[in-house]
Amino acid sequence: MSHVTNNETVRALAVVETERNRQHDLLAAGKFPDYWKDGVPDFHRLAVLAEEFGEAAKEACEILHNDTRLWPEEEAPMVLEHRNHVRKRLKGLLRNELVQVAAVCVAWIESLDSEIGQ
């Protein structure tokens, strides 16, 4: 079976790599403890992932709560434009949180690889 990497995947992974680097810079600046060094218990890492996942879940709930598709379709064009703006803004916030979740997963994988010699 052959696998094809599409442009969307390549772009998404590049964004995750950028976020991973940002998180590494924050760690180097002392903004939070190093949960990724050898010997840190996995439940500490799970707590970091859970916090990031919780933020993504919050944004997903915001989208549901503010689902502009439920607004009346017969509204004035200005309202429809605002509706589309709101939807895009909320989806962008969710995307940002999911990128952070993915970067935390990558950090955890890197730590595990270091610990098990991969």
What pLDDT score does 18 carry?
Answer: 98
- Please report whether residue 36 resides in a domain: yes
Q: Is the pLDDT of residue 1 over 60?
A: no
State the pLDDT at residue 39.
87
Residue 2, in any domain of the structure: no
Domain that holds residue 32: 7-116
- For a pLDDT cut of 70, what percent of the chain falls above it? 89
Q: How many domains does the chain have?
A: 1
pLDDT band at 105 (very low <50, low <70, confident <90, very high): very high
pLDDT in tens, 37-95: 888 999 999 999 999 999 999 999 988 877 766 666 666 677 777 778 888 999 999 99
Contacts 24+ apart (CB under 8 A), 92-100: 93/59, 93/62, 94/56, 94/59, 94/60, 94/62, 94/63, 97/52, 97/55, 97/56, 97/58, 97/59, 98/56, 99/15, 99/16, 99/19, 100/19, 100/23, 100/52, 100/55, 100/56
